[in-house]
Chain A
């Protein structure tokens, strides 16, 4: 009977810690792999090489920002794709609601709509960006990337770059 009650209390501890881990991962922070080269050189700088897919960067995604919905220019966010709700994408915010964004392909200046943001990948040559998506509703955002946690030689905070020549706040 001693081992029975030991297993029972061990099982309860595993269950409780599993539940705490699940709640923290859902609501506060989790670790996700980044796939693809659209955010090179920030993430996956060598994704074009043969061994690239074996060394996906793992990043820390924090979800505290969702409570107040305070996103800034230059934040790297994880969002559900508006074209395929089962996929999540990683891009950098370059425009918040009310900003005017200049497009490279024409001389137009586009105003970012309320409740939306414009995103772009850091790799200008190969990225399905917001110019293809259109503006992203902020409700699709799942979290903000703050740190790279793997591989260890690239451990560190993710910086916020602001492309000041691309936008002007209204």
Chain B
């Protein structure tokens, strides 16, 4: 009976820690792989090579920002794709509601509507982002990327830098 109660106690601890881990991952922070080259060189700088897909960067995604929905320009966010709700994408916020975004291909400036944000990948030559699909509703955002946690030689904080020449606040 001693081993039975030991297994039961172990099972309860395992269940509790699993539940804590699940809640933390849902609500506070989780670790996700980044796939693709649309955010080079910030993520996956070598993904054009043959070995690229074996070395996806893993990043820490924090979800504290979702409670207050305080995003800043230059934050890298994870969001559900508006075209396929089963997919998540990673891009950088360039514009917040009310900002005017300048487009490179014409002299137009686009105003970001209420409740939306303008996102772009760091690798402008191969990134499907707001330049083609338009602003993203902020309700689709799933979290903010703060750190790269793998591979170890690229461990570190993800910087929030933007190109000042692209936007002007209204």
Does A85 lie within 8 Å of B27, measured CB to CB? no
Number of interface residues of A (CB under 8 A): 25
Query: Which B residues touch A83, using CB under 8 A?
Result: 113-115
- Report the bound CA distance from A80 to B113 in whole Å: 15
Does B116 lie within 8 Å of A69, measured CB to CB? no
B53 close to chain A: CB less than 8 A: no
Closest chain A residue to B79 by CB distance? A139
B147 close to chain A: CB less than 8 A: no
Does B85 lie within 8 Å of A82, measured CB to CB? no
The residue that B27 contacts in the complex, of A26, A69, A81, A140, with Cβ under 8 A, is A26
- Report the bound CA distance from A79 to B139 in whole Å: 9
Does A140 lie within 8 Å of B137, measured CB to CB? yes
Closest chain A residue to B71 by CB distance? A85
- A136-152 contacts to B, CB under 8 A, are 137-141
The residue that B86 contacts in the complex, of A16, A20, A69, with Cβ under 8 A, is A69
Say how far B87's CB is from chain A's closest CB, in angstroms: 9
Closest chain A residue to B20 by CB distance? A19
The residue that A137 contacts in the complex, of B19, B69, B80, B113, with Cβ under 8 A, is B80
Say how far A63's CB is from chain B's closest CB, in angstroms: 12
- Report the bound CA distance from A16 to B26 in whole Å: 17
Main secondary structure of the interface of A (DSSP, over half): mixed
- B18-53 contacts to A, CB under 8 A, are 19-20, 22-23, 26-27
Does A23 lie within 8 Å of B22, measured CB to CB? yes
Closest chain A residue to B82 by CB distance? A137
Query: Which B residues touch A140, using CB under 8 A?
Result: 137, 139-140
Does A85 lie within 8 Å of B137, measured CB to CB? yes
B138 close to chain A: CB less than 8 A: yes
Does A84 lie within 8 Å of B114, measured CB to CB? yes
Say how far A73's CB is from chain B's closest CB, in angstroms: 17
* Per-position 1/0 for A106-150, Cβ under 8 A of B: 000000011110000000000000000000011111000000000
A27 close to chain B: CB less than 8 A: yes
5 A-B pairs whose Cβ atoms sit less than 8 Å apart in the complex: A16-B19, A80-B139, A83-B115, A139-B140, A140-B137
Q: Which residues of B contact A (CB under 8 A)?
A: 16, 19-20, 22-23, 26-27, 69, 79-86, 113-116, 137-141
Q: Which residues of A contact B (CB under 8 A)?
A: 16, 19-20, 22-23, 26-27, 69, 79-86, 113-116, 137-141
